[in-house]
Amino acid sequence: MKSVGVVVEYNPFHNGHLYHIEQTRKHTNADCIVAVMSGNFLQRGEPALLSKWYRTKMALQGGADIVIELPYAFATQKAEIFANGSISILDAIGCSEMCFGSEHGTIIDFNKTVSYMIENEETFNIKIKNTVKQGYSYPKAASLAYYELEGQESFLDLSRPNNILGYHYVKAIKDQQSSMKPTTIQRTGAGYHDVELPPENIASATSIRKALLEEEVSLETIKQFVPVTTSNELKKYLSEFQLLHSWEDYFSLLKYKLMTLTAKDLENLYEMEEGLENRLISHISNSHTFEEFMKKIKTKRYTWTRLQRACCHILTHTTKQQMSTVKDNPKATYLRLLGMTVTGQRYLKTVKKDLSLPLVANLSSYNDPLLELDKKAANTYSMIFPEPIRSKVLKLEYSTPPIRYNEENVN
């Protein structure tokens, strides 16, 4: 069986994601689609709109055959570490190809750019350092350094978010000496950062979340942009838990942490660099919402995403020491199975004995430092609920077996 990997967040699963899976299957002739999916907290430092289990169901209903969780240690990181963790999982589970969506849409230019940048890595890093010293954020500095290096002959627009991730996927495959072949599908419809719903039926996840969170959770508003299965799972989640998660729900917890920890305490937490802890402490007491707080602390040097990730690590109390492993060796150490179709189950049976990493289906049966971070993230994610709902949410985390989805017998 041919397995092809995708890296996803599905926050929530929408028509663009459905298109990506359908095109991946069509262009690669995949028998089995393996989705590596972020868990409770995401790459931009945000809590997932709804739990990993509901998003897993959306993924399986939308065409994925296997869903593996991307550990917190990779899921809440800059593009390079995020990509390395994701690729290591797809490689370990035996994918022969991986397919990502991009604004560019042509894989040959990703390969050219990665080769060029590897050849000029030393010069590139010097240019980044010099640009950062001028007060630019790291992502902006990297983009400027890249164009200064390549000039008018640049192969790829590395100011576009999906192109950036795609570049790092291709580079991770090279760095890890994986035999996996990268390919790309051109994104269609709304842009990644678009905040308004478009007239077409493909909208950005950003605009869908905005509509759900700011328009009194009107599912009718986003109905044309998501599969029926996504609408159904959103309805079920709202019925069961009475909310969709956003940073505002966690702001009081963040405020408590920042008003009780000292600057010295914060220094030990991941992403706390260059005196950022002092800036956070100085603005927290007179901030009444998370958005207000973010607007006060944002600067030219610190992007919104970088600051959200820092806040995320404060919330989960993730230390530099705990993250040092993935900085030194950014590869996964286990495969946590969240769900599978009948096809996915058949594929796993054929490759299980050849997997290079342990397949974890039950949290109580496996110990790993990275898994401990996942548990902390799950505990934190549940803290906004009152009892007994919180206990129910945690029980789902620790006792839910992998979801088995039979597309021919949908409950």
Domains detected in the chain = 3-103+330-405 (3.40.50), 250-323 (no CATH)
Using CA atoms, how far apart are residues 380 and 197, in angstroms rounded to an integer? Answer: 31
* Mean pLDDT, range 142-167, rounded to an integer: 78
Using CA atoms, how far apart are residues 118 and 405, in angstroms rounded to an integer? Answer: 42
Q: Are 215 and 195 in contact (CB under 8 A)?
A: no
Work out the burial of residue 1: count CB atoms within 10 Å of its CB; fewer than 13 is exposed, 13-18 middle, 19 or more buried: middle
Q: Residue 153 pLDDT more than 70?
A: no
Using CA atoms, how far apart are residues 99 and 108, in angstroms rounded to an integer? Answer: 13
Q: Residue 199 pLDDT more than 60?
A: yes
Residue 10 annotated in ligand binding: yes
Residue 8 annotated in ligand binding: yes
Count of alpha carbons within 13 angstroms of residue 201, beta-carbon side: 9
Question: What does the pLDDT read at residue 108?
Answer: 94
Residue 187 annotated in ligand binding: yes
* Mean pLDDT, range 306-321, rounded to an integer: 97
Say how many Å lie between the first and final Cα of the chain, rounded.
Answer: 27
Q: Are 53 and 403 in contact (CB under 8 A)?
A: yes
Report DSSP letters for 279-334, one per residue: HHHHHHTT--SHHHHHHHH--SSS-HHHHHHHHHHHHHT-BHHHHHHHHHS---S-
Residue 104 annotated in ligand binding: no
- The residue type found at 117 is M
Identify the CA nearest to 222 among candidates 9, 16, 45.
Answer: 16
| 241-283 tens-digit pLDDT | 999 999 999 999 999 999 999 999 999 999 998 889 999 999 9
Work out the burial of residue 112: count CB atoms within 10 Å of its CB; fewer than 13 is exposed, 13-18 middle, 19 or more buried: middle
Using CA atoms, how far apart are residues 167 and 175, in angstroms rounded to an integer? Answer: 12
Residue 136 annotated in ligand binding: no
Identify the CA nearest to 125 among candidates 116, 134, 117.
Answer: 117
Residue 192 annotated in ligand binding: no
Percentage of the chain lying above the pLDDT 90 cut:
70
| 2-35 tens-digit pLDDT | 999 999 999 999 999 999 999 999 999 999 999 9
Identify the CA nearest to 66 among candidates 82, 89, 85, 43.
Answer: 89
Question: What does the pLDDT read at residue 271?
Answer: 93
Question: What does the pLDDT read at residue 411?
Answer: 44
Using CA atoms, how far apart are residues 263 and 290, in angstroms rounded to an integer? Answer: 20
Kind and range of the H or E element at 246?
none
Residue 27 annotated in ligand binding: no
* β-strands 403-405, 3-8 pairing: unpaired
Work out the burial of residue 207: count CB atoms within 10 Å of its CB; fewer than 13 is exposed, 13-18 middle, 19 or more buried: buried
Question: What does the pLDDT read at residue 192?
Answer: 54
Residue 135 annotated in ligand binding: no
Regarding predicted confidence, which is higher, 138 or 182? 182
Residue 162 annotated in ligand binding: yes
Instruction: List the structure tokens of 165.
Output: 């991730």
Question: What does the pLDDT read at residue 193?
Answer: 56
| 329-386 tens-digit pLDDT | 889 999 999 999 999 999 999 999 999 999 998 877 788 999 999 999 999 999 999 9
Question: How would you label 272-289 residue by residue, b for 16+ Cβ within 10 Å and e otherwise?
Answer: beeebbebbeebbeebee
Residue 15 annotated in ligand binding: yes
Residue 17 annotated in ligand binding: yes
Residue 41 annotated in ligand binding: no
Q: Are 363 and 396 in contact (CB under 8 A)?
A: no
